[in-house]
């Protein structure tokens, strides 16, 4: 819909219509004041036979900050949640050596819980802020930082999934596939696969909209 509005403004300016006329007719047609202003601001107010697009900064520092913090928070959440699940797996399927020498994972468990308490709400807040900004201005989704971080996340997630599956097959062939190990491998697969699926779907949805 934003592209339709921009195209209309471009055609109207190219036909010599004044900005005031375009502004008025769009408001009568039901467009929001902010949408109309942004569409008109996309073109330079210079005398020329066709509408001259105004150069826009491809990425603002604020968008880079939001995306960087959101992805960092995501990584912390994924790792901490995995540590937490691993702890419960160790509790349900204890190792005799851990019983003998004590449980060295308590500090790791406290750190995982602390990280989730801070990072998960932060991730949700950042994603909410980013989505609200993209709803108002779809061009924000063209952030290079966002795309690089998304593809980097997909590469890392795919590498972890492949490594996880290789480890499972390796232990299976060696006859060392215990229930405890199988659950941990499944945990890694579910967490990483969920992240991979979510961001891959988001990219595919974006490509269809373009």
User: Using one digit for the tens of pLDDT, what is the confidence trace for 14-46?
Assistant: 888 888 988 898 888 888 888 888 888 778 777
Question: Residue 52, Cβ neighbours under 10 Å: how many?
Answer: 15
Tell me which residue has tokens 């579910």.
190
Task: State how far the alpha carbon of 191 is from the alpha carbons of 78, 160, 164, 178, in Å.
Answer: 7, 10, 12, 20
Structure tokens at 46: 């210079």
Task: Identify the pLDDT of residue 198.
Answer: 94
pLDDT digits (tens, 9 = 90+) for 142-163: 677 888 899 999 999 999 999 9
DSSP 3-state of 52: strand
Residue 207's pLDDT band, with cuts at 50, 70 and 90, is low
Rounded Cα distance, 202 and 138, in Å: 14
Task: Identify the pLDDT of residue 58.
Answer: 52
Rounded Cα distance, 161 and 148, in Å: 20
Q: Which helix (H) or strand (E) holds 147?
A: helix 144-173
For residue 55, pLDDT over 60 is answered with yes
Structure tokens at 2: 């934003």
Per 3-state DSSP, what percentage of the chain is helix, strand, and coil (rounded to 5)?
A: 80, 0, 20
pLDDT digits (tens, 9 = 90+) for 125-136: 999 998 887 777
For residue 1, pLDDT over 50 is answered with no
Highest mean pLDDT among 13-22, 58-67, 129-138, 189-198: 189-198
Q: Which residues contact 21 (CB under 8 A, 6 or more apart)?
A: 12
> What integer best gives the mean pLDDT of the chain?
84
Of 94 and 117, which is predicted with more confidence? 117
Task: Identify the pLDDT of residue 121.
Answer: 97
Of the listed ranges 3-7, 16-20, 111-115, the least confidently predicted one is 3-7
């Amino acid at each position: 819909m934003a592209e339709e509005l921009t195209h209309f403004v471009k055609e109207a300016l190219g036909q010599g219509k004044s900005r005031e006329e375009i502004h008025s007719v769009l408001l009568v047609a039901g467009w929001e004041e902010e949408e109309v202003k942004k569409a008109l601001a996309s073109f330079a107010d210079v005398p020329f036979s066709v509408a001259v697009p105004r150069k826009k900064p491809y990425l603002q520092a604020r968008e880079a900050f939001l995306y960087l913090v959101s992805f960092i928070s995501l990584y912390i959440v994924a790792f901490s949640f995995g540590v937490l699940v691993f702890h419960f797996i160790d509790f349900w399927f204890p190792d005799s050596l851990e019983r003998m020498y004590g449980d060295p994972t308590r500090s790791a468990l406290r750190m995982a819980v602390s990280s989730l308490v801070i990072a998960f709400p932060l991730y949700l807040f950042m994603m909410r802020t980013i989505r609200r900004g993209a709803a108002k201005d779809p061009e924000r989704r063209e952030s290079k930082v966002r795309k690089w971080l998304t593809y980097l996340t997909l590469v890392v997630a795919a590498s972890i999934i492949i490594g996880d599956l290789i480890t499972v097959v390796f232990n299976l062939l060696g006859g060392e596939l215990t229930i405890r190990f199988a659950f941990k491998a499944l945990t890694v697969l579910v967490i990483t696969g969920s992240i991979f699926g979510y961001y891959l779907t988001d990219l595919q949805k974006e490509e269809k909209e373009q």
